[in-house]
Amino acid sequence: APFVERILIGLVLVLLFASLRLDDLLHSPPDLFHLEAGVLLGIAWQTKVDRCRKGTRWSCTRGSVSGGDWVPVWLDLIRTKTIDSTKPPRDHVLPVPNDEMDGFTDQPMEYDAFMTLIKPIFEQIGISRALTSKIHMCRRWIRTLGAFSGEKEAPMTLQGNWANPKMGIEYTAFSRY
């Protein structure tokens, strides 16, 4: 796949494996990303839960279904294809791709632009538009998978930066058990 599409799909994987809200990831400066053994660390400077702009730390597992370590490949694409060392560090994860999808503009990626770009990519690989309309809620998916696989409620409450512990139960499959 072209590098812009690979970067966009990588954003979705980070959303899933870090259990993040889309806006939280979009407000994460890539110069603050740090690879450690087994994890990618980042900071969202503004979140829905914490609007103080002090920074909420998050972590993304480097695991995968295939066993491949996709995170360093994605991070290298972010660093080599989207960061201009002649400009000051940006406060958003990714600029908007240009119309040809072979480079990037100077505009920060926002929710609506991301959703417009990712839906056709997912349709190309066989994921229906109905499923992609909820992509911004990846933080709920992992918790829902935990509920279906029999995980206990208490450890799952730690996941997702919920405003209060009850939200994580009400908005996921745990509400059904």
Asked whether the whole model's pTM tops 0.85, one would answer no
CA distance 119 to 77: 21
pLDDT 10s digits, 38-83: 899 999 887 665 555 667 888 888 887 788 899 999 999 999 999 9
Share of the chain above pLDDT 90, in %: 36
What is the rounded average pLDDT of the residues 15-35?
89
Q: What is the pLDDT of residues 100-147, one digit of tens each?
A: 999 999 999 998 899 889 888 888 877 776 666 666 566 666 666 666
pLDDT at residue 160 tops 80? no
Give pLDDT tens digits for 80-102. Answer: 999 988 999 998 999 999 999 99
